[in-house]
Structure 1
């Protein structure tokens, strides 16, 4: 048994000496022949000749998950009556306090909203309002293209929300139907 003092450690076994020599040899070969560099360039060439995965966005749209949370909408029943029963659960559960509801009673005794506002600049798109709603009145639809020039355009009132619901009703109904298994 012999001892070799290399830098700051001592090799006490021939096996360690052999492993050390092999490691030094491999590092020398890698440095001399630039194997890491060649490996990286080969990877670059591999991806260079593959088909593109990007899409031409304004003209092509990627698939959206049925659980995607986009622009808010208020839904109506098939009869045309709005679904919101003014329970104010969505207003209470909203962590950003972006929803404001005012309601009054009708002649038939039911409550309906007179004011339903959402400040979209405060909204964090958590979906709690949609989950809390007992009649699926407020939903987050599939629209994600609602950029505006002014802050005021992002203050949605009841009419704007109902308009969104009418515009996206088919997609919203399909998404809610596919998501119903998980609710």
Structure 2
């Protein structure tokens, strides 16, 4: 050990004191995320407002962290929430357990479940990190109707096969267009 070793250490400290700071001003100026960033989950809707989730529970089975709870319910002609025979009556994602792997997204047969770019999921109360169906559902866009309501886009095949085309062509749907889309 040399007598000048402590001075060399202070030299490193003094050299970095006058360099510009690289710390981001996160809460005030958050950086945008990458377009394909996997953040909070979202339950999507069809162009008429019906839910895409058919309550099949495949997302819950695919989750390695056991963070998803789905309880399916049966649709009736009086109360229809999705175009299928069933819908997700009770849907919860526990973000205390979720590891953000995206396996639930791959398992979803109707593309009901996707992930948004929202990444601020921290909270100081554990119960608020269990997101329920009303917190996960995509908002209603103009022309959409709050379920339950009857099928508006024709046969159930139209919902799955032609759904993306109808979404591009007919949004926002007006009540007059709902009848014409059949």
Out of 70, 90, 93, the residue aligned to residue 118 of structure 1 is 93
Please identify, of 93-102 and 133-142, the stretch whose mean Cα deviation from structure 2 is larger. 133-142
Using the size of structure 1 for normalisation, the TM-score is 0.59
Q: Give the number of the structure whose residues are more often helix, by fraction.
A: 1
Q: 1:158 to 1:59 in 2, by over 3 A?
A: same
Check if 1:75 corresponds to 2:44: yes
- Tell me the CA shift for residue 110 of structure 1: 2.4
SS of the equivalent of 1:159 reads helix
User: What CA distance in whole angstroms lies between the structure 2 residues aligned with 1:79 and 1:46?
Assistant: 62
Partner of 2:132: 157
Specify the alignment match of 1:145 in structure 2. Answer: 120
* Cα distance in 2 for residues equivalent to 1:69 and 1:77: 22
What is the CA–CA distance in structure 2 between the aligned matches of 1:136 and 1:41, rounded to whole Å? Answer: 58
Alignment equivalent of 1:166, drawn from 133, 139, 142: 139
Structure of larger gyration radius: 1
1:94 to 63, 75, 97: 63
CA RMSD after TM alignment: 2.7
Structure showing greater relative contact order (alpha-carbon pairs closer than 8 Å, 6 or more residues apart): 2
Show CA shifts across 1:77-120 (max 9, x none). Answer: 23222111222211110011111111123237522111111122
| Unpaired runs of at least 5, structure 2 | 78-82, 141-182
Match of 2:153 in 1: none
- SS of corresponding position for 2:139: helix
TM-score (norm 2): 0.59
Cα shift readout 1:98-147 (whole Å, capped 9, x = no counterpart): 11111123237522111111122121111111122233221222122232
Aligned pair count reads 134
2:103 to 122, 128, 153: 128
User: What is aligned with 2:24?
Assistant: 55
Runs of 4+ aligned structure 1 residues displaced above 3 Å come to 36-52
